[in-house]
A = this chain, B = another copy of it.
């Protein structure tokens, strides 16, 4: 890889342009380091709104932002589209798609990936929702199934059941959006189908939705979903899914063509470090300065980092705020190290959590205030608009939201690249 090393600066290589990666790069602007960012894509994905892409509410292009544009002409900064295959820690080197690259400091900010807990059928047949291509595939599949239901009239039950597995924020938000799609949009498109028979299911293994949030938020989100017509099943464990039959509670089953997997994620582990540096969720065990146990110049931040202690036996929640704050603190510490100044351990400032369930219906736990309903919904929209990268994206998302609100429509119901199951 042809990036000329700087003669007088150490090089920091960052893997991953998610919330953690981009905030670290920004923080290092004007520092005494050469900074190299690697990502498989040339854009940053605003993951919290992926479910709206999947349900036809937003263009994919308005929640993605070109990585090169974020950093403009930041000095001594280099970006490359590259997947990383392996870390060679003894040689301070990475092996990537596009050749090898040396580092002085390495920061792993690869985020998280789906965890199917070893269920092969689920992995092959369920639809995950972690990336833009996955969201587009889900959008296509939902529409293709409606088209197929017109032709293949013997299997209506399977086409008409949509099952969401996992009652965290993604599961709650996507099942709310799906039931609104079913209620307000699909009946106009498919007058030939009896869409009153379509059902959206939300299956959660635990005894409550939105487990990380307050009891109020959790109860209210359940009430909202039930009121909107989602069939919520708590305390229910799913088994495998063969593409038509989803097993649950050992011996029961649902016939469905569409299972959306929002039940588990794990760290997006990169090969090459000692086996014992990651926990069971594939998160790298780091100290309070994000340094991976047993390494001197390798760090992890964001979802892939597990900062574990007595208070947090599983590490911090895998959310954007943790990633952003860890990135900023690490950036500050890099600069301090360079000056020989004191470095500070990471301290998480919880700014709250929220989830939107549907039109005028959201739940928000803020540090000073907890609310549900219209106000929470406005707060949710405002916070997400402001968090989007790029002014153009904010305007486009805002207009789409206005449009959907007043028309009850989800305008972007296009099957641009039909979804076809790949052999895995």
Binding site for B on A (CB under 8 A): 1-2, 41-43, 59-62, 64, 66, 68-69, 72-73, 78, 80-81, 98-99, 132-133, 136, 143-144, 147, 150-151, 153, 188-192, 390, 392-393, 395-396, 399-400, 403, 411-417
- Whether the Cβ atoms of B188 and A72 lie closer than 8 Å is yes
Which of B42, B151, B413, B416 is close to A414, meaning CB atoms less than 8 Å apart? B42
A184 to chain B, nearest CB (A): 13
- Whether the Cβ atoms of B73 and A188 lie closer than 8 Å is yes
Contact sample, A vs B, 5 pairs, CB 8 Å cutoff: A60-B416, A73-B188, A78-B192, A395-B399, A399-B399
Number of this chain's copies in the assembly equals 2
- Whether the Cβ atoms of A191 and B392 lie closer than 8 Å is no
User: CA separation between A62 and B412, bound complex, in Å?
Assistant: 8
The 9 closest A-B pairs by CB, nearest first: A68-B189, A59-B61, A59-B59, A43-B414, A98-B151, A61-B412, A81-B147, A42-B415, A392-B411
- Whether the Cβ atoms of B415 and A43 lie closer than 8 Å is yes
Supplied contacts A2-B151, A42-B147, 16 more A-B pairs, CB within 8 Å: A2-B150, A42-B413, A42-B415, A60-B61, A61-B412, A66-B413, A66-B414, A69-B188, A69-B413, A80-B147, A390-B411, A392-B400, A392-B403, A395-B403, A396-B399, A417-B417
Residue of B whose beta carbon sits closest to that of A395? B399
User: CA separation between A150 and B2, bound complex, in Å?
Assistant: 7
- Give the chain B neighbours of A412 by CB distance below 8 A: 61
- Whether the Cβ atoms of A189 and B69 lie closer than 8 Å is yes
A132 to chain B, nearest CB (A): 6
A99 to chain B, nearest CB (A): 7
Of the candidates A98, A192, A396, the one having the most CB atoms from chain B within 10 angstroms of its own CB is: A396
Which of B2, B42, B390, B403 is close to A143, meaning CB atoms less than 8 Å apart? B42
User: CA separation between A147 and B73, bound complex, in Å?
Assistant: 16
